[in-house]
Structure 1
Amino acid sequence: MLEVRGIDAFYGEVQVLRDLSLSVNAGEVLCMLGRNGAGKTTTLKAIMGLVRPRSGAVVLDGTDLSRLPAHEVPRHGVAYVPQGRRLFAELTVAENLEIGLMARHKDRDTLDRTLALFPVLKERMKQRSGTLSGGEQQMLAMARALCLEPKVLLLDEPTEGLMPSMIATIRDSVSQLRDQGVAVILVEQRVDAVLPVADRVAFVENGRVRDTVDVETLRGDLSLVHKYVGVGH
């Protein structure tokens, strides 16, 4: 479905991604694990066209996204929830969601299906998003992305700084999206946030995917976690 084929990416003259390749299928959750600076976030930005690969390709259902301007990528069915959420703080919950709907010309039915995943947002529609709790802001960021009805959802550390109950809500929503056939690429730092929801795990080091394993293999042997992330995770 989505294939990242041997991309090289730079910030200025500093190379961050080196011949990085990965793939994710419909109805699958692929987690990217690795230390800070390994290239995980840059991979998501490269998929979205926010960082332009100098070589390689990002292909979704036969379309080379890496040849498109960044604003065209969401229209092909890729949604991105960046680290830090990037909500429009002065706009209401409803207004933030409306922006998501406009990106792919979706309607009220799409909004209703999205809000079914995050019922608490129904009670906050007129509230400014900047006044929500951290967990509610993360739900809104995900809901806004889902208003695109994406084929692929990119999540950059969605559980960072959240209380356990909110982490469980986010995790449950990811599982439901997988069951609905959405492909999810999840960037995380903590293996305990990954094991309950991922199907496969890609370990990233120095801008490359070094190993990819299914989650059941990882449950039985955490040596790769210790190698690429650290003993404390």
Structure 2
Amino acid sequence: MLVLDKISSGYGRAQILRDLSLTVRSGEILCLLGRNGAGKTTTMQTIMGLLPLMSGRIALDGKDIGSLSAHRVPQAGIGYVPQGRRLFTGLSVAQNLEIGLLARHSGPDTLEEVLTLFPRLRERYRQRAETLSGGEQQMLATARALCLRPKALLLDEPTEGLQPSMIEAIRQVIVQMRAAGVAILLVEQRVDAVLSVADRVAFIENGQGGEVIEAETLRQDHSIVERYIGV
């Protein structure tokens, strides 16, 4: 379980998050939904130690991780697929995955599980990441995060700019990770994609938490979504 308890964060002197609280249960997909600039990516970066935690507490399975340096957060069991992927484009698929494996000292069994989830990457195993299509690069970024054997997985706009077949392939993997007991925090602007996988939806506005609502409720009534993001 990933818990954010009244966290505040920002860039330099600019505070973005203000007393934001969220709980992502093990085996759950919680989608963080809000307008551009609401603080969604800031939330992810704060969890990962990439931005300073000004106040509040971040805990994974009861252990405080808010004080960890950025390189130690993945070691604690949090996988992160950032917006823009941030692959080592000059390295091969194999080398990018090896970096993920090293972060938590995972072995060949983990690598085989990940390649089974993404058979396309097995076919491209020796290719440089820069030669992959956008969808294949997104698969690689996700696979690299899964090499950590994460307890929690953060995904920032994983379907952005992808064709439908790639979106579906990544959606299936996300659903499998939920079934395996991973706590998944998903940032996604496409409301249809959100409602196809999410268990609950947490709204964020001006860096502050709003309502947290069962996804099934939103499937039946879109008025709440319209209020928060104007679609």
Same-fold call, TM > 0.5? yes
Structure 2 match to 1:45? 45
Structure 1 match to 2:154? 154
Q: 1:190 Cα deviation (Å)? A: 1.2
d(CA) in 1 for partners of 2:17, 2:230: 21
SS of equivalent residue, structure 2 residue 53: coil
Q: 1:13 Cα deviation (Å)? A: 1.4
Q: Under a length normalisation based on structure 2, what TM-score does the superposition of the two structures give?
A: 0.99
Q: Do 2:10 and 2:42's aligned partners in 1 also have CA atoms closer than 8 Å?
A: no
Query: CA deviation digits over 1:118-171, x for unaligned, max 9?
Result: 111000010000110000000000000000000000000000000111111111
Tell me the C-alpha RMSD between the 2 structures: 0.7
Structure 1 match to 2:163? 163
Q: Quick one: which amino acid aligns to residue 100 of structure 2? A: G
Structure 2 match to 1:115? 115
Query: CA deviation digits over 1:53-94, x for unaligned, max 9?
Result: 110010111211111111111111001000000000000000
Q: 1:230 Cα deviation (Å)? A: 1.4
d(CA) in 2 for partners of 1:53, 1:106: 29
Q: Quick one: which amino acid aligns to residue 159 of structure 1? A: T
Unaligned runs of 5+ in 2: none
Structure 2 match to 1:128? 128
SS of equivalent residue, structure 2 residue 230: coil
Q: Do 2:7 and 2:54's aligned partners in 1 also have CA atoms closer than 8 Å?
A: yes
Q: Quick one: which amino acid aligns to residue 98 of structure 2? A: E
Q: 1:10 Cα deviation (Å)? A: 1.8
Structure 2 match to 1:2? 2
d(CA) in 2 for partners of 1:68, 1:86: 21
SS of equivalent residue, structure 2 residue 116: helix
The answer as to 2:229 corresponding to 1:229 is yes
d(CA) in 1 for partners of 2:123, 2:158: 22
Q: Quick one: which amino acid aligns to residue 151 of structure 1? A: K
- Identical-pair percentage: 64
d(CA) in 1 for partners of 2:220, 2:31: 17
SS of equivalent residue, structure 1 residue 160: coil
Query: CA deviation digits over 1:26-51, x for unaligned, max 9?
Result: 11000011110000000011111111
SS of equivalent residue, structure 1 residue 145: helix
Q: Under a length normalisation based on structure 1, what TM-score does the superposition of the two structures give?
A: 0.98
* Stretches (4+) displaced over 2 A: none
Unaligned runs of 5+ in 1: none
Structure 2 match to 1:99? 99
How many pairs were matched up? 231
SS of equivalent residue, structure 1 residue 195: helix
Q: 1:12 Cα deviation (Å)? A: 1.4
Q: Do 2:154 and 2:186's aligned partners in 1 also have CA atoms closer than 8 Å?
A: yes
Q: 1:208 Cα deviation (Å)? A: 1.0
d(CA) in 1 for partners of 2:62, 2:192: 34
SS of equivalent residue, structure 1 residue 54: strand
d(CA) in 2 for partners of 1:109, 1:218: 39
